[in-house]
Amino acid sequence: MSLQFEKLNVPSAYQVVSRELRRMILNGALKTGDQLPTEALLARQFGVNRSTVREGIRQLENEGLVRREGRKRLCVTVPDQRDLAPRVIRTMVMHQVTFRELWEAALVLEPACASLCADNRSDEQVAALETNLQRTRHVLDDARQCTELDTEYHGLVAEGVHNKALLLSREPVGVLLYSAFDRLCPLLPQASGRMLRAHEQVAKAIAEGNSAKAELWMRKHIIDFRRGWEMASLSLDLPVDLPRVVADT
pLDDT digits (tens, 9 = 90+) for 159-178: 999 998 898 888 888 888 87
Sign (positive or negative) of CA dihedral 14, 17, 23, 26: negative
Q: What's the confidence (pLDDT) of residue 129?
A: 97
- Residue 219 CB contacts under 8 Å (≥ 6 apart), including other chains: 107, 110, 111
- How much of the chain, in percent, has pLDDT values that exceed 90? 55
Domains along the sequence of the chain with CATH: 13-76 (1.10.10.10), 82-247 (1.20.120.530)
Task: Over range 20-42, report the average pLDDT.
Answer: 91
pLDDT digits (tens, 9 = 90+) for 75-128: 998 876 666 777 888 888 889 999 999 999 999 999 999 999 999 999 999 999
Label each residue of the chain as H, E or C. CCCCCCCCCCCCHHHHHHHHHHHHHHCCCCCCCCECCCHHHHHHHHCCCHHHHHHHHHHHHHCCCEEECCCCCEEECCCCHHHHHHHHHHHHHHCCCEHHHHHHHHHHHHHHHHHHHHHHCCHHHHHHHHHHHHHHHCCCCCHHHHHHHHHHHHHHHHHCCCCHHHHHHHHHHHHHHHHCHHHHCCCCCCHHHHHHHHHHHHHHHHHHCCHHHHHHHHHHHHHHHHHHHHHCCCCCCCECCCCHHHHCC
- Amino acid identity of residue 231, one-letter, is M
CA 177 to chain CA mean position, Å: 11
Q: What are phi and psi of 239, to 5 degrees?
A: -60, 145
Asked whether the predicted pLDDT for residue 214 surpasses 90, the reply is yes
Task: Over range 185-208, report the average pLDDT.
Answer: 92
Beta bridge partners of 239: 98
Q: What is the pTM of this model?
A: 0.76
For residues 35 and 75, the answer to whether their CB atoms sit within 8 Å is: yes
